């Protein structure tokens, strides 16, 4: 969906991509998770990497690529490229992937010394092995979030970006806009990642609503007056609150995607920089959609669906487990960090480049 | 930014400077009213040929939010009159100068009379009433299941202190045997319809969104100015970031809802969520801003007080009722007649 047209892709706008993800997630969150996280990273390849890497990786447009932002392993310079070794966990979409995009550190200059700079790389499947280590979590058992292992994999220099952190990226000098002439490839990344997680949960909530409607149409209340649940004022309210939560989450995500695209367009046409503060604001807004979806699911749907709906294999039971994984995803753990970073940006406390995992975190209070 | 929105932003600073002056009377200061009138902010939704600004819902929300950054009470007064006037014009094919306020919650009754209806009753909290030329109300029809929507001229109703305390030019409106000609009366199935479940709540949510944006600015100023360097404190940073996020969520949610042409109870529910974001952000700011900001007359205190009252304003409709109607719509059940809670 995000593969550039010149490679046979669709170049979907972010809002359209998120709508597709929501629709698939309404059917099955595991499948949508795998699809979303394996297809979204085409956006970053097309934005951040140069033409040789894109031509090599996109080929005829068949590009399915998990990516994990947490750095692992290490890289050593070798000839015109790098040799990379390491294991990366939680690579969602790995079973059907054609590539992997990951982060690692350059090996220490001296044995036992601190790691060198951080690297962002993309490698074809022939360079890595998928481990059989996924499926024993609470939910998302079908998301294909296996680990990926590389042993001295050779990666040409054009497929490695030095000093780049995928999560929080300044795209003003990136080649994507120039290569493809589409502001889609001029956008920052923080808000995109959060929008994905939120769209997945919102879609899952919409699936839960279908099941909940079926339940309340066919079951009766447990206390007087004994009537069909769909005619009962409380069930109507719970159902309506969850519908409202889904509608608000969907509307917020559409707004975030629209604003993200607008920032890209303004950069492309007016030179107005898409700032980190812009990206953080959209990131925290997208988080609200996830909060709405989770709150509606657990408070309105799961709490009132009844014990039979929690039996193993039931649709609501599965959705609850799957969305719980989304709610506990590292991306959501960083909500407080994101609020704080947004405030720090507004207060002018972020000087120069923002903190990245390869920079000392000595100054977190100021 | 559109021209009306720029005008609203310019006026906003004046509204802020006069907000305290209007409080004793629960209404805009007289010169504020004159400015709102002169610049067309009571007629934002009327077409240009009737002397209005002819704004669509999205532009209206932007204008009201800008006014609310200065004074939420004045913005709510202007928005209420704009909404009521637009509705009255469509229902009764009116033109010319019109400042109608409106309400749905009622204990009023209507009985048939020669050539019209006799309406009596009281409407407890009607925003913008002080400056209204007309009142768009709804009354139960004696002996029948339906209701009557009617338009009363200013001479046909009296204003009383509503005791609401939040400004917005809120007054109680009382009609005593008012004779409403048939031309200004329409039988309706229920007091609340798709329009009343959507546009008035959206207007109030626009006030909340603007007020929350202003509260976030105040919050930031407080954090910057605090002697003990709150700006460097991780908790104050997090609280500020969350308040900014909620104010932005309220604004964007409304803007997107208008852009997507949301209507009916769906728009009403999105408006309610925007109000919740806005009030959550302001409450959080008030909690951590320090005692000085809670003193009577402090701007943050005034905003929070407005929101406390606004959350129960009849125009917003109870969120539980709206939620239930969303469910009933999806379940293909008829909408409830009206919320039992006014």
pLDDT at A356: 52
Which residue does chain A place closest to B250, by CA atoms?
Answer: A252
β-partners of residue B290 are: none
Please list, residue by residue across B118-149, b when 16 or more beta carbons sit within 10 angstroms of its beta carbon and e when fewer do: bbebbbbbbbbbbbbbbbbbbbbbeeeeebbb
List CB contacts (< 8 A) between B322 and chain A. 240, 244
Query: Does residue B216 sit at the A interface (CB-CB below 8 Å)?
Result: no
Evaluate whether B83 touches B171 at the Cβ level (below 8 Å).
no
pLDDT at A58: 97
Q: Check CB contact under 8 Å for B245 and A339.
A: yes
The set of residues, in sequence order, having a beta carbon less than 8 Å from that of A20 and lying 6+ positions away, is A1, A12
C-alpha A144/C-alpha A128 separation (Å) is 15
pLDDT at B98: 86
Query: Does residue A341 sit at the B interface (CB-CB below 8 Å)?
Result: yes
Query: Does residue B13 sit at the A interface (CB-CB below 8 Å)?
Result: no
Interface A:B, Cβ pairs < 8 A: 132
Those residues of chain B that have pLDDT short of 50 are 341-342
Strand B116-126 with B158-161, pairing: unpaired
With a cut of 80, say whether residue A363 has pLDDT above it.
no
List CB contacts (< 8 A) between B242 and chain A. 284, 339
The set of residues, in sequence order, having a beta carbon less than 8 Å from that of B16 and lying 6+ positions away, is B69, B70, B71, B299
pLDDT at A362: 34
C-alpha B275/C-alpha B307 separation (Å) is 9
Token pair listed for B327: 């469910």
Cα torsion B261, B266, B272, B276: sign: negative
Evaluate whether A186 touches A267 at the Cβ level (below 8 Å).
yes
For chain A, counts of helices (H) and of strands (E):
12, 7
C-alpha A91/C-alpha A148 separation (Å) is 7
Question: By C-alpha distance, which of B95, B96, B182, B185 is closest to B135?
Answer: B185
Query: Does residue A236 sit at the B interface (CB-CB below 8 Å)?
Result: yes
Q: Check CB contact under 8 Å for A365 and B233.
A: yes
Evaluate whether A186 touches A47 at the Cβ level (below 8 Å).
yes
Question: By C-alpha distance, which of A222, A198, A361 is closest to A293?
Answer: A198
Place of tokens 């503060």: A277
- pLDDT band for position A241 (cuts 50, 70, 90): very high
Query: Which chain A residues in 200-229 lie under 8 Å from chain B, judged by CB atoms?
Result: 213, 217
pLDDT at B94: 82
**Mean pLDDT along residues A137-152:** 95
**B259 to each of A252, B58, B202, how far by Cα in Å?**
12, 7, 13
C-alpha A297/C-alpha A202 separation (Å) is 9
pLDDT at A358: 45
Token pair listed for B134: 């007309």
What's the pLDDT tens digit per position in A286-317?
A: 999 999 999 999 999 999 999 999 999 899 99
Token pair listed for B112: 């048939």
- The beta-carbon neighbor of B231 closest among A239, A251, A347 is A347
Evaluate whether A105 touches A115 at the Cβ level (below 8 Å).
yes
Token pair listed for A355: 């903190």
The set of residues, in sequence order, having a beta carbon less than 8 Å from that of A276 and lying 6+ positions away, is A168, A170, A188, A190, A345, A350, A354
Query: Does residue B278 sit at the A interface (CB-CB below 8 Å)?
Result: no
C-alpha A263/C-alpha A198 separation (Å) is 20
β-partners of residue B187 are: B148
pLDDT at B164: 58
List CB contacts (< 8 A) between A235 and chain B. 327
pLDDT at A359: 42
β-partners of residue A160 are: A121
Nearest Cα of chain B lies from the Cα of A234 at a distance, in angstroms, of 8
pLDDT at A361: 36
Regarding predicted confidence, which is higher, A21 or B104?
A21
Rounded to the nearest 10 degrees, the angle between the axes of helix A233-270 and helix A276-295 is 170
C-alpha B110/C-alpha B152 separation (Å) is 13
Q: Check CB contact under 8 Å for B223 and A338.
A: no
β-partners of residue A228 are: A220
Please list, residue by residue across A82-103, b when 16 or more beta carbons sit within 10 angstroms of its beta carbon and e when fewer do: bbbbbbbebbbbbbebebbbbb
Any idea what the Cα angle at residue B255 is, between residues B251 and B257, rounded to 5°?
120
Nearest Cα of chain A lies from the Cα of B46 at a distance, in angstroms, of 27
| Percent of chain A predicted with pLDDT > 90 | 88
Query: H-type helices in chain B, by residue range?
Result: 3-22, 30-38, 57-70, 72-92, 199-225, 234-259, 264-289, 299-310, 319-330
Question: By C-alpha distance, which of B320, B296, B318 is closest to B20?
Answer: B296
β-partners of residue A27 are: none
Question: By C-alpha distance, which of B252, B258, B253 is closest to B272?
Answer: B253
Identify the residue among B326, B332, B337 best suited for mutation to test binding to A, counting A beta carbons within 10 A and taking the highest: B326
Evaluate whether A176 touches A47 at the Cβ level (below 8 Å).
yes
For B260, phi then psi, to 5°, come to -85, 5
Identify the residue among B221, B237, B247, B319 best suited for mutation to test binding to A, counting A beta carbons within 10 A and taking the highest: B237
In three-state secondary structure terms, B286 is: helix
- The beta-carbon neighbor of A252 closest among B224, B249, B266 is B249
């Amino acid at each position: 969906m995000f593969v550039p047209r010149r490679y046979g892709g669709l170049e979907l706008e972010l809002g359209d991509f998120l709508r597709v993800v929501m629709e698939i997630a309404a059917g099955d969150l595991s499948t949508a998770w795998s699809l979303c996280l394996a297809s979204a990273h085409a956006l970053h390849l097309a934005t951040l990497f140069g033409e040789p890497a894109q031509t090599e990786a996109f080929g005829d447009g068949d590009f399915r690529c998990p990516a994990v932002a947490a750095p692992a392993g290490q890289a050593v310079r070798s000839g015109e490229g790098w040799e990379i070794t390491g294991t990366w966990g939680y690579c969602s979409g790995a079973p059907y992937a054609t590539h992997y995009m990951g982060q690692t550190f350059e090996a220490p200059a001296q044995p036992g010394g601190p790691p060198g700079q951080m690297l962002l790389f993309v490698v074809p499947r022939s360079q890595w092995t998928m481990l059989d280590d996924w499926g024993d979590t609470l939910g998302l058992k079908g998301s294909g979030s296996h680990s990926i292992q590389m042993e001295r994999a050779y990666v040409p220099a054009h497929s490695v970006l030095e000093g780049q952190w995928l999560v929080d990226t300044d795209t003003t000098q990136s080649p994507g806009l120039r290569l493809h002439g589409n502001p889609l490839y001029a956008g920052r990344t923080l808000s995109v990642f959060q929008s994905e997680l939120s769209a997945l949960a919102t879609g899952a909530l919409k699936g839960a609503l279908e099941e909940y409607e079926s339940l309340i149409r066919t079951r009766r209340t447990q206390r007087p007056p004994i009537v069909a649940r769909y005619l009962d004022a409380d069930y109507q309210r719970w159902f309506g609150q969850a519908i409202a939560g889904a509608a608000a989450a969907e509307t917020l995500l559409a707004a975030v995607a629209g604003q993200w695209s607008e920032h890209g367009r303004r950069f492309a046409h007016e030179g107005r920089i898409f700032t980190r503060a812009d990206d953080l604001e959209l990131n925290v807004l997208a988080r609200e959609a996830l909060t709405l979806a989770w709150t509606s699911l657990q408070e309105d749907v799961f709490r009132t669906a009844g014990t039979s709906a929690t039996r193993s294999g039931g649709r609501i039971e599965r959705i609850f487990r799957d969305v719980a994984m989304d709610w506990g995803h590292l991306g959501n753990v960083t909500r407080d960090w994101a609020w704080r970073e947004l405030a720090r940006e507004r207060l002018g406390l972020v000087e120069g480049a923002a903190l990245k995992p390869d920079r000392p975190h000595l100054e977190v209070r100021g | 930014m559109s021209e009306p929105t720029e005008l609203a932003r310019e006026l906003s600073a004046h509204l802020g400077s006069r907000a305290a002056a209007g409080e004793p009377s629960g209404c805009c200061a007289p010169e504020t009213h004159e400015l709102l009138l002169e610049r067309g902010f009571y007629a934002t939704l009327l077409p240009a040929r009737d002397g209005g600004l002819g704004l669509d819902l999205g532009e209206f929300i932007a204008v009201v939010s800008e006014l609310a950054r200065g004074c939420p009470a004045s913005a709510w007064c202007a928005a209420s009159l704009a909404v009521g006037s637009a509705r009255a014009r469509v229902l009764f094919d009116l033109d010319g100068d019109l400042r109608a306020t409106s309400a749905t919650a009622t204990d009023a009754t209507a009985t048939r009379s020669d050539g019209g209806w006799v309406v009596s009753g009281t409407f407890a909290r009607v925003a913008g009433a002080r400056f209204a030329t007309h009142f768009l109300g709804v009354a139960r029809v004696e002996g029948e299941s339906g209701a009557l929507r009617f338009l009363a001229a200013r001479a046909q109703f009296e204003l009383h202190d509503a005791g609401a305390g939040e400004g917005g030019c809120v007054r109680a409106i009382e009609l005593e045997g008012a004779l409403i000609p048939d031309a200004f009366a329409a039988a309706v199935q229920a007091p609340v319809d798709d329009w009343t479940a959507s546009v008035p709540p959206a207007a109030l949510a626009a006030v909340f969104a603007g007020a929350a944006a202003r509260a976030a600015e105040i919050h930031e100023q407080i954090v910057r100015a605090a002697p003990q360097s709150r700006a460097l404190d991780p908790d104050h940073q997090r609280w500020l970031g969350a308040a900014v996020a909620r104010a932005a969520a309220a604004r964007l949610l409304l803007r997107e809802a208008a852009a997507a042409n949301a209507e009916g109870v769906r728009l009403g529910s999105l408006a309610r969520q925007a109000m919740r974001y806005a009030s959550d952000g302001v409450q959080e700011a008030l909690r951590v801003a320090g005692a000085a900001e809670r003193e009577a007359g402090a701007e943050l205190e005034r905003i929070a007080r407005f929101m406390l009252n606004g959350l129960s304003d009849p125009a917003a409709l109870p969120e539980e009722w709206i939620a239930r109607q969303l469910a009933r719509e999806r379940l293909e059940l008829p909408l409830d007649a009206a919320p039992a809670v006014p």
